[in-house]
Structure 1
Amino acid sequence: MVRGKIEMKRIENATSRQVTFSKRRNGLLKKAFELSVLCDAQVSVIIFSQKGRLYEFSSSDMQDTIKRYHKHAKAGQTNKIEVEEYVEQLKHESTAMAKKIENLEASQRKLLGHGLDSCSVEELQEITGQLERSVRKIRERKAHLFAEQMEQLRAKERLLIEENAKLSEEFGAQPRQLLLQQQLSVEEKGAVSYWSQSSLSSEVETELFIGPPVTRC
């Protein structure tokens, strides 16, 4: 026969309640003993009946187990307090950070020119001063970047000039020699042509006559 599920509530009948207490008490003490033996655990069980009678089981000295329990319970309570304090601190920091972010967002909107209707003259003067300081810092940064870029360009220019000078030293002499040789060759050819023409002109027979012209047949 299958046992029905027992409803977990106080047994009203005193006799049934006493019988159930005896059975379950013995079963609980037996399970505690088995747990201590099988798992090599330090187990202690304290039971007080409804009439105040004490039943107990301990795998070691009961007082040592109680002292150990108080020690761990105290440490656990301390850790719990520390955790609660830490959580409270985090909440406080989170609230302060949210407020700071809200103030920064409001200040940013004002710097962008929004929400100025509620600002006083002093606040507007403070905003103006902040904008002027920001513009001054931006210009200083811009000038610094321009100076760095100019210095980089000058360094690059100096490097190109040095490389050009090296290339001129390595390859510049040979083209000049070739140019001089070509010029000399052209001059020599011109001289030869001139002397050739001169010699040819000296070999040509010229007929020059002094006196009145004579008719030739």
Structure 2
Amino acid sequence: MGRGKLVIQRIDNTTSRQVTFSKRRSGLIKKARELSILCDAQVGLIIFSSTGKLYEFANTNMRSVIERYHNTHDCVLQPIPADDLKFWQREAAQLRHQLQLLEESHRKLMGEDLSNLSIKDLQSLENQLEASLKGVRTQKDQLLANEITDLKRNGGLTRQENIELYQKLHIVKQENSDLRKKLNGTYKEHQAYQQPHKSISVQSDRYIPVRLQLSQPQPLNIDASARTTTKLGLQLH
């Protein structure tokens, strides 16, 4: 269920009145801050509680807001003299006329509303367009020349960097070549050092004496031979 409609009147309960004041004050300051940010407005808020405590908010400076308020309020309250009023009316009329002329000139420059112009007016408009086009081309050529100069300078710097990198690469290749030569020389010396030892070991292996061990003859079991002979004789009979 939604809350009932709140009656806007003084709250008699002191505690409820203080709680409502605190909540509404925070919400009001929040809204003032959002208004100043979203709408780029200069906001000044002054609140006095029932106990006389001051609460304020200003997105710039409270003193400047108050001074601006007084100046604006004084200007609004002071009546404008009739002469000044006529002067500002004439100024407004002149500004409106100048604005109308500028709009017509702009339409003509865009190629619109040319039917009422004479040959002299068209020639003047053409000269004006040519002068404007010349200025535009001059500015464009200047910008292109500046860009070409920057590109040439950057190209020279890039070329110099490439030369330095090529020199560094050549030095690294030379160091790698020297290191490879040193490694090959060390490997050959190592091979030459190991070759005599291998030949000596092969020759020494040829004259290694071979030790042979003769097994002792096994004694003949006479009893077993006699029994075998007796059995064979019985079988023959």
Common fold by TM > 0.5: no
Coarse TM-score class (shorter-chain normalised): 0.3 to 0.5
TM-score by length of 1: 0.42
- TM-score norm. by structure 2 comes to 0.39
